[in-house]
Chains A and B, each alone.
Chain A
Amino acid sequence: MQNSEQMKWVLLIASLAMILMSFFVILFIMYYQKRRFEEEKKLNDIEKNYNRLLLDTALNSEETERRRIAQDLHDDIGTMLSLTKLSLNQLNKMISKNGDEKEESIMKKSQSLVEETILHVRRITRDLVPTTLERFGLLEAIEEFIDKLEEDNSLIISFHANTEEFPRQGQKLELTLYRIMQELVNNAIKHASCSKIEIVLETNDRFVSLRVTDNGVGFDPEKIKENNLAGLGLLGIESRLAIVNGTVQYEKPLKGGSSALAQIPVMPLSENKPEPLHPFRRERVNI
């Protein structure tokens, strides 16, 4: 009888011990898994922030370098060309007095070449540093970009914004959107064989959106993602957007062509005033 009672207790205690052990195993696994996920998340965040910082630094360096080159072009080559033009003008006057037609025609040709070079230098300088963007904002900069493109191409480029007075955004956001717009339009011209490009700029309390649509041959966005076919241009767009927490979606409209929508959350305006047009500052630019 006593043995039977003892056996009951032994069994009860052994069973309870096993159940408790199982229970603690379950709790331990839950706790361990949660901790490992938190650690993994922290590591991912650190890596993500580090990559973002790297990208930011790389793009800042690129902008600084562009600015430096533009400044050198404007200050050094631009000045030299202006002086050359002046000297040629003086020389032209001297040659005109001699009345040699051959010399005069060579002089005219040289003068027009110098003038053309000055124009080229100005264009390159403007392309390198979008001064209109810094002074007047995104709307004007895009309009200026379109005007210049339409001069050189037979393309029809339309541009719409959802407000007449597009509010100024942070420097970084404006520059990012401008560069993305440049890249998307250049891609459409280079690869899409399109005749019409539509640019739409919209803003609300939360996002600034830029949509570039063309009527060209189009591409399959899924295929590009699956097969890692994105070129440097598309990767550059994604990198720029990653810094400002933006996103990009590529679509294939039913009517043909392709469409890209970039969205960036609205950022508070920085205290920094826009850079002056000229002379360029020689210091490092932080955008």
Chain B
Amino acid sequence: MIEIYISFCQKHTFICIAVFITFIPLIVSLFKKTYREASFSSLLIYLITKLVIDLTMFHFASIKQSTVVYYNISIPVYYALIGSMFYHKFETTRYKKWLIWSIGLFTLFSIWDMVYINPEFSNLHEQQLVFYSGTVLSLLMIFWILLYLYEIMLLLKIPNLLNFPFFWVCSGFLLYFSSLVCIAPVLHYAEKWNNPLDIGFVYYVPYIFEIVCAIFISVGLWNFSFESYAKQ
């Protein structure tokens, strides 16, 4: 089994790095005890969920079984977890309300998207990636990140953004979802498990930025100090 994993890693290096790099922010988060702060506890849950889903997909992909269904399920879950992280960070009550509504609506929308595209769950190999959910997720995430950055610019509470952990987290996610927003619609429309789409190196761009995102999150978490964070 290990040989299968190794051979899969050799074939899809970027994808595998993107899976295993989640360990770094996860370890940093536990080491720095970031879970004591509400938004970072959401981030920790997101990292754990992401790692579990990614490892499951890695396992099934290496034994040549379809992972599309896991990917489809992961989209609303990720949105709910990242959204709840921003829910704790926003100071404007109006934004918080919008965010809560968007989580509920997006979950319903992605369920509809999943059922509409894959009416038959039995044939896993014919399963398709959700058409719209991935793109909508990227657009919504970019919107919330920009809104949050706008809010911190207006409030002027953080003197040095480079020392502010959540700024790194936001920057990482912004870069990742920006890299995904153009590729997701093409991939999700055209690709199937039995008929992968060949778009060359572009296919790896989101994975590269997933790695960049994990590094940014790790740097942010490393800067975390509960005592000083509570004051900010």
Contacts and interface: CB of A to CB of B under 8 A. Distances in A.
Interface of A: 4, 7-8, 11-12, 14-15, 18-19, 21-23, 25-26, 29-30, 32-34, 36-37, 40
B100 interface: no
26 contacts: A7-B199, A8-B201, A11-B182, A11-B199, A12-B202, A12-B205, A15-B178, A15-B179, A18-B178, A18-B179, A19-B209, A21-B178, A22-B142, A22-B175, A23-B175, A26-B175, A30-B162, A32-B153, A33-B152, A33-B153, A33-B158, A33-B161, A36-B153, A37-B156, A37-B159, A40-B156
Nearest to B149: A29
Contacts of B156: 33, 36-37, 40
Given A8-B199, A15-B205, A40-B156, A29 B161 contact: yes
B199 A22 contact: no
Interface residues of B, number: 26
Contacts of A29: 149, 152-153, 161
Contacts of B175: 19, 22-23, 26
Nearest to A4: B198
Interface in B165-217: 171, 174-175, 178-179, 181-183, 186, 198-202, 205, 209
B186 A7 contact: yes
Interface in B137-155: 142, 146, 149, 152-153
A8 B190 CA distance: 13
Given A15-B178, A37-B159, 11 more contacts: A7-B186, A11-B199, A12-B201, A15-B202, A18-B178, A18-B179, A19-B179, A21-B178, A22-B142, A22-B174, A25-B146
Nearest to B186: A11
A11 B202 contact: yes
Interface in B26-85: none
Could you tell me the dominant secondary structure of chain B's interface residues? helix
Contact of A8 (B174, B178, B200): B200
Interface of B: 142, 146, 149, 152-153, 156, 158-159, 161-162, 171, 174-175, 178-179, 181-183, 186, 198-202, 205, 209
A157 B208 CA distance: 76
A79 to B, nearest CB: 62
Most chain B beta-carbon neighbours within 10 Å: one of A23, A26, A34, A40 = A26
Nearest to A21: B178
Given A22-B175, A25-B146, A30 B161 contact: yes
B164 to A, nearest CB: 10
Contacts of B162: 30
Nearest to B187: A11
B137 to A, nearest CB: 15
A25 B149 contact: yes
A22 B156 CA distance: 21
B153 A15 contact: no
Nearest to A13: B182
Nearest to A5: B200
Nearest to A22: B178
Interchain residue pairs A-B with the least CB separation, the first 9: A14-B182, A22-B178, A18-B178, A11-B202, A22-B174, A15-B182, A26-B171, A12-B202, A8-B200
Nearest to B154: A36
A21 B161 CA distance: 19
Contacts of B174: 22, 25-26
Contacts of A26: 171, 174-175
B151 to A, nearest CB: 11
Nearest to A12: B202
Contacts of A15: 178-179, 182-183, 202, 205
A8 B201 CA distance: 8
Contacts of A18: 178-179, 181-182
Nearest to A26: B171
